[in-house]
Structure 1
């Protein structure tokens, strides 16, 4: 269910929306994203419908810290070397594909045994996840196949004022995060650059 609001919404109001299983928009390192409660299938399904996104593509979980991601990661399937690799790289703008716990929604994993996770360095997103107390879904604020939203105006063009937009600016990256499969040691998505 969507809820009408003003263009900008405060942090506490966005957390209230997340707790009610509504969708929000918020700035990330490169683009504006849509997010919702990762533990609510209803919220996730509504987000997928809103974007017209395939249920098989999976979604990213963004968090303030690695500890927030532990309930979603099957750490038993990670070696010490793989964990050290994550810890050594996650200060960069990188999303990791890691083994998923069996209780995670298939809408997040895309019906696979992996979950895409990222520890954010964006101050607005970090604060949002800290106050919310857990990760949130992170997917670009656009319709599938259309250009990403880099401004509030772009978000409004796609969704009107039906979705609350957390006040803040996007970061200085031009493209979405790299995606690194920790099990294979390969980049699934490899290009990003900073604005000059």
Structure 2
């Protein structure tokens, strides 16, 4: 518990300064930053060598934070989240209060309510959503565990969370597109 608090505090300092963290999420090891800081989000795209037209996922701590960053959360979203048996990312219309370069060209944002204790505590303390993208260079396979993370990624972040012994799901989240017009599309199961 003491180690968890120490790691959260170290991450907070980096996030508040616009830096990048490498951290265990509720799915895979992820690269994160302040989701409201356009310059920090750009650093993530640069580190991953990823086209900034390919949107990134944003993690929030709870439903209240989700509602602060999405214009209209459809009721169906709560049902999907309640019934999901694995971490689920939902793509919403009309995001707000996040970095412009985090929003897809069709004015959508992929958001996941974190189920992991470390992530929820970090985001709650930070009081803002954080970016979550797999810890790999674009086009390379996502690392299944910490040992598979490339040197380029390890060197490119400002802080690496020291919780390598934690067991991760090691599978990406499900992704569902939930439009305000009621259309539902499963992007990744």
State the TM-score bracket (shorter-chain normalisation): 0.7 to 0.9
Alignment match of 2:110 (pick from 110, 116, 140): 116
Alignment match of 1:148 (pick from 134, 139, 142): 142
With 26-35 and 162-171 compared, the bigger mean Cα shift is at 162-171
Do residues 49 (structure 1) and 43 (structure 2) align? no
8 Å CA contact retained: 1:142, 1:148: yes
Do residues 165 (structure 1) and 160 (structure 2) align? yes
Distance 1:126 1:99 in 2: 23
Do residues 35 (structure 1) and 35 (structure 2) align? no
Match of 1:180 in 2: 176
Displacement of 1:15 in angstroms is: 0.6
Match of 2:89 in 1: 95
8 Å CA contact retained: 1:36, 1:44: yes
Match of 1:128 in 2: 122
Q: Secondary structure at the match of 2:163?
A: coil
Displacement of 1:18 in angstroms is: 0.2
Normalised by the length of structure 2, the TM-score is: 0.84
* Residue segments in structure 1 that go unaligned for 5+ positions in a row: 1-8, 191-196
Match of 1:23 in 2: 20
Match of 2:99 in 1: 105
* Residue segments in structure 2 that go unaligned for 5+ positions in a row: 1-5
Match of 2:3 in 1: none
8 Å CA contact retained: 2:145, 2:170: no
Displacement of 1:87 in angstroms is: 4.5
Match of 1:193 in 2: none
Change (3 A) 1:91 1:134: farther
Displacement of 1:158 in angstroms is: 3.0
Change (3 A) 1:102 1:19: closer
Change (3 A) 1:104 1:123: closer
